């Protein structure tokens, strides 16, 4: 690629990002609103009925700012990598590494360490601002040191996993230029299963402390409910999150003997027993319907298509690059791979989110069936919205790209419909 062409592309990228930022700001502050349709105002789904005026305003301002930050920072890694590539820095780095050592393993390690540190440094000010923002709005109670500890744990876990992926991908591209994507996908199957299996017992405990439920009275009720759903009750865990956040959460994680349902201790403190039982029934649905396995299967199916698309795009981009004449341009190939895979992954988010929202709706309705108490579910959702300062009715693009659960408006509405069906029987 000619120097003049690279210079033009650099200008286009910078100008394009500036235009993108303006469009994001216009979308959230001018063209869209999170206000409810008039027919829902004053009803139980209206935040003003379960939040005071100050809380409702805080919820709106925080959610909007959080979403703006998400979309503005979304392409930063791609832009940083693109600018490093166009400036020749990546190619010079690759050349220096090839002179430093002949071992590709070490070359890829040093290359990915440089890229990871560079993108982390660029993103750090915004990540730090997010941390300060969540502290300002009362959602985080972490100290800076505790937050940095989690940041470093996340950095090194991500680095270790992605370095392994990068090294394998490079070897496959070099040895199987036409079929690398298929071999990479086949190798990803045991890798994905292994990570899902070890996550609850190896990765998650690096961040938090997990233990059996402390409230034995609640535990007995959960055991009774679990028996109805044919779920081993010993797989319900409590996690100490109150040292980090004030928000509520519960989730299902792991597969096989490591499968478990996890409740944050903030959830146990902030919700009533009936509300907790509804949340537990919701999570039990994921266990009963094997949603972790379905999600894993869907992710693998999606990655097969995604890797093939990445292969085609990578082939096209390299054909337009001067560096494509050498299969030893490791740094160039992997940088282009990172950019393309990041963009393809983002574009696929709406599809995976849609499937996830379907499973979450089924879990809500299963919880109604198991507890016969949709009212507690509605109250729990109101508390979750208030506690996390989340929007009941977020803008369309936020739901499309960020929501793997139905909106709170949707969830409370179909719980209301379920409650009416129960009352009419």
Q: Which residues are catalytic, by number?
A: 283
In this structure, what token pair is assigned to residue 279? 């949340």
Quick count: other Cβ atoms within 10 Å of Cβ 323? 18
> Which residues are CB-contacts of 418 (< 8 A; sequence separation ≥ 6)?
365, 368, 374
d(CA 149, CA 140): 15
In angstroms, the Cα distances linking 409 to 39, 50, 68, 423 are 12, 13, 21, 21
The angle subtended at Cα 150 by Cα 264 and Cα 348, nearest 5°, is 80
């Amino acid at each position: 690629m000619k120097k003049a062409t690279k210079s033009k592309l650099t200008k286009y990228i910078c100008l394009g990002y500036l235009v993108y930022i303006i469009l994001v700001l216009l979308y959230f502050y001018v063209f869209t609103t999170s206000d409810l349709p008039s027919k829902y105002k004053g009803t139980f789904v209206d935040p003003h009925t379960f939040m005071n005026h100050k809380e409702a305003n805080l919820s709106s301002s925080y959610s909007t700012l959080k979403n703006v930050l998400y979309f503005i920072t979304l392409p930063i890694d791609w832009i940083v990598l693109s600018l490093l590539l166009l400036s020749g820095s990546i190619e010079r780095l690759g050349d220096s590494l090839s002179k430093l050592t002949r071992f590709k393993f070490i070359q890829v390690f040093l290359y990915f360490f440089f890229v990871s540190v560079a993108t982390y440094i660029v993103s750090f000010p915004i990540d730090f601002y997010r941390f300060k923002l969540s502290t300002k709005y009362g959602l985080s109670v972490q100290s800076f040191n505790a937050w940095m500890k989690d940041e470093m744990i996340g950095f090194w876990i991500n680095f270790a996993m992605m370095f392994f992926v990068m090294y394998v991908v490079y070897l496959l591209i070099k040895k199987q230029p036409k079929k690398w994507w298929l071999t990479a996908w086949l190798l990803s199957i045991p890798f994905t299963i292994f990570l899902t299996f070890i996550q609850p017992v190896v990765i998650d405990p690096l961040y938090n402390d997990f233990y059996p439920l402390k409230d034995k009275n609640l535990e007995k009720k959960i055991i009774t409910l679990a028996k109805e759903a044919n779920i081993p009750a010993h797989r319900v865990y409590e996690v100490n999150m109150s040292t980090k956040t004030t928000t509520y959460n519960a989730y299902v994680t792991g597969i096989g003997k490591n499968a478990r349902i996890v409740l944050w201790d903030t959830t146990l403190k902030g919700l009533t027993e009936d509300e907790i039982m509804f949340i537990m029934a919701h999570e039990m649905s994921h266990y009963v319907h094997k949603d972790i396995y379905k999600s894993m299967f869907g992710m693998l199916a999606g990655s097969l298509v995604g890797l093939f698309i990445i292969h085609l795009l990578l082939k096209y981009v390299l054909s337009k690059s001067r560096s494509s004449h050498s299969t030893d341009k490791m740094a160039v190939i992997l940088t282009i791979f990172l950019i393309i895979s990041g963009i393809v992954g983002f574009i696929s988010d709406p599809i995976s989110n849609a499937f996830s929202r379907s499973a979450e709706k089924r879990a809500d309705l299963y919880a109604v069936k198991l507890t016969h108490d949709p009212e507690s579910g509605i109250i729990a959702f109101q508390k979750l919205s208030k506690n996390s300062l989340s929007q009941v009715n977020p803008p369309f693009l936020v739901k499309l790209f960020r929501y793997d659960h139905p909106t709170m408006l949707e969830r409370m509405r179909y719980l209301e419909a379920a409650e009416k069906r129960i009352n009419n029987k």
